[in-house]
Amino acid sequence: MQTRYDQINAGNNQYFSAYVSIPDVPNGHAVIVLQEIFGVTPHIREVADRYAQEGYLAIAPDLFWRAEPGLSLSHSKDDMKRAFSVLEQFSEELGVQDIGCTITHAKAQPGIDGGVAIVGMCLGGKLAYLSASRLPVDASLAFYGVGIEKSLDEAAGIKVPMLMFFGGKDKYAAPPVREQIATATRGNHNVRIQVYEDADHGFYTRGDPEVIRWAHAEARAFLNQHLPLRGVPA
C-alpha cells in the first residue's frame, strides 16, 4: 500500500487537498472517506488505509479547506473549541459539492472501473447521508452522523444502499434523534440502521477494538454486497 496527496479540482481555478491511500491489489472500486470535525486526522487516514488494504482506492478530501486547509486536531479541550469554531464556518452545501468533485476525481483514476462508495463519520456521517440523496454514488456508510435529523426531508431521495451506524451511548445522536431518523427512513428499503448499544460517539475511529472490528466487518460485508469484487457473483 502506498499513500499520496492529490489536488482535487473544485472549479474556478480552485483546488483542495485529499489524502489518497492506494491498494496493492486494486478491486476496481473507490471509497471516499469523509472526515469528522477535527479534519483529516491520523484517525481518518487510518480509516482510509484500512479500506485500501482491502483493495479500495481510498480518498479522504480536506472538506475544511475554505476555512482552514490542512486542519488536523486532537480531542483536547482547546482543539475541541477550535474544531467547533471551524465548523461554524463550514457550508454543508459546498461540502457536498466538494464531495462531488472528489467522486469525479476518483472515477478518473487508473483502474477505477467499478463503483464509488462513501464512508463518513460524525460530520462526515451526515454528509454521507446527504451524498446518498444528492450525488452519483453506489453505496453509502454513515457512522454516527450528527445532524441527520435536521435534513430528514432528504430521506426519500436516497436511491442507493445506505447503512447507518450509531452508538447506543452517543449523546450527539440520542435515542429520540435515532427514532426520528428511523421513522423518516422506515419506508425506504435502501436504508438500514445498526445500533451498537454499548458504544459511544466516535467508536469507529477510537472506540473499543472489538467494536471497531464488528463494525468494520459489517461495513465490509455491506460493500462486498453492493460493490461486488471482481470474479465474485453479485
Distance between CA atoms of 158 and 156, rounded to whole angstroms? 6
User: For this structure, is 201 an active site residue?
Assistant: yes
Residue whose C-alpha is closest to residue 185's, from 162, 163, 156:
156
For 132, the grid coordinates are 446518498
From 201, 208, 216, 226, active-site residue: 201
Cβ distance 115 to 139 under 8 Å?
yes
Cβ distance 117 to 223 under 8 Å?
yes
Cβ distance 118 to 131 under 8 Å?
yes
Residue 223: how many other CB atoms lie within 10 Å: 25
Cβ neighbours of residue 144 under 8 Å, at least 6 residues apart?
121, 122, 125, 165, 166, 167, 170, 172, 173, 201, 202, 203, 204
From 49, 98, 170, 226, active-site residue: 170
Rounded to whole angstroms, what are the CA distances from 178 to 70, 173, 227? 32, 6, 27
Residue 4: how many other CB atoms lie within 10 Å: 9
User: For this structure, is 198 an active site residue?
Assistant: no
Catalytic residues: 170, 201
